[in-house]
A and B are shown apart, each in its own frame.
With several copies, the nearest count.
Chain A
């Protein structure tokens, strides 16, 4: 059993008639994901070029197709409502790819999800993939391979880079979760570590952090208190200047807090190997697993 998603995952794509939604619905289906349905208000009744039925509301999609997981590609200003709609329709896992959602919206959305026991991945994230089983998001499926390494990351392409190295070194992945680059996200490092803790397919975890916030420090704390799997980490942004946002809304050192040095120190203190380059991650994991 992989975490969060597996072959039984039944996906509804919110914003399926948009450019990104349409493209990735097809990509996911090609990868083998059960893309059961899509939602675009006002376009209910049509089918996509890939033959996926489109509904006006998530509730209809759930009722008609048994979707249990949603992936969201709607524009930022409609995304918070789309997330809540999914939760209200009983969707248990929502992956929000959309970037640029106001922080205030997320602050209001998260308690709504919590009340409904819905887990959110993202926003502003590449999604989640359990190689060989299913992918829900936008990551290129072909660079992944099945195996024992769990990956959790705040970034998108940097994760692809790391996964690429892992696969090339023969290290497959159990599940890769892109938790997103925003300051306020639904699932953080701690949550992901807890999921991997119990996952018997996962033998080692790669944690790819970056400057901003203190999620990495909190993860290091948890590992220091006893974590049953090997962990290798990487922190992006050692050379980032203070007070400047580095692309991701969450990647900023403010008031001297959230620096790469602090995070690296916390991991080292917790006994976690911290790689200097993406390629080194694979080397470290290989060493730990052999």
Chain B
């Protein structure tokens, strides 16, 4: 789950990170008032859950409250990569001498948190990693011990030769790690972490992604989810315990299991068409889930046929068949449905579907081919 910069700043602040004061606003008037209160210059920052908002005009400096109001006005309602700007952060600006980068992810290879820092901050860190790997230092953190003093010394002395600045950086990195662990983050990033001309360290941007599976531990974090940044289908799918990703093809897919669902998409491509979506109904399916899946897919007008590909294990084919029957009744489906059901309770399911106008297929290959054919007729 991605959360907004304003929320990430709040989490960072709570863990002691030096984040400049800021206010979240939704109107030009509020922007003016915030700028007055914080003291200018301020930075006006669009709160949208995509990268590259700076280049898209979503981050501006304002020298006066009036200018802050003006820039907020022009930013509100603006579209950035398909997302509408509804909230803006007004943050006290700090003077910048150096821009650093600091981030933590879970490293799949070592199975531990990995902290990455660079003296080249403020820009795309993946680009730095590709072009100047020597500008990056990585340390693997053993979460049983936490980030250790010797690791902080290694990192801070890599980033600054000035003792007092290095000390502040070390402190900030420690707090970044604590924040990362405290919220079950999958990513926490400060880009840039800046050093002011007076030698004071500031975290002037904040990014946190949270592991959805850890959300149950902190329900207050769940409220930070911004559904407006999601596809409507994704939101609905999540609420129905489905995994859904919208794509731009014409063959809708309902599959049980993520691997099989991806393989189904790949096979549609292999046979010359394009999938309209990824959709995994998960292990313990129920008719309701199939119904919800159908509703989500049918919202996409580009969909010309729907392939239901089920390899029953925990998933019972008769549950799926019941879901299809319910959907046909409730949703008034006008695209062809191609059904491939095999495994647990397969025979009962096929019997249930005998008197319908569904197209059945004996194998995945056959199902895909029939779905493509149906989409073209």
Contact = CB atoms under 8 A, between A and B. Distances in A.
B132 interface: no
B106 A84 contact: no
A214 interface: yes
Where chain B touches its partner, the secondary structure class is mixed
Nearest to A77: B216
Given A212-B108, A239-B275, 15 more contacts: A76-B213, A81-B148, A84-B148, A103-B184, A104-B211, A107-B106, A108-B144, A155-B260, A156-B260, A157-B315, A159-B259, A234-B263, A246-B245, A279-B363, A279-B365
Contacts of A100: 213
A105 B216 CA distance: 13
B211 A103 contact: yes
B262 A210 contact: yes
A160 interface: yes
Contact of A160 (B148, B216, B311): B311
Contacts of A56: 153, 157
Nearest to B265: A239
Contact of B243 (A58, A105, A107, A247): A247
B260 A183 contact: no
A81 B149 contact: yes
Interface residues of B, number: 63
Contact of A236 (B106, B259, B282, B312): B259
B232 to A, nearest CB: 15
Nearest to A19: B284
A238 B269 contact: yes
Interface string B277-313: 0101011100000000000000000000000000111
B108 A213 contact: yes
Of B153, B181, B261, which is in contact with the most chain A CB atoms at under 10 Å from its CB? B261
Contacts of A251: 258-259, 262
A100 B214 CA distance: 9
Given A57-B154, A164-B342, A239-B265, A248 B258 contact: yes
Contacts of A211: 262
A85 B150 contact: yes
A183 B108 contact: yes
Q: Enumerate the 10 nearest inter-chain pairs by beta-carbon distance, A residue then B residue, closest first.
A: A155-B259, A247-B258, A157-B257, A158-B259, A85-B150, A102-B214, A236-B262, A247-B243, A247-B280, A157-B260
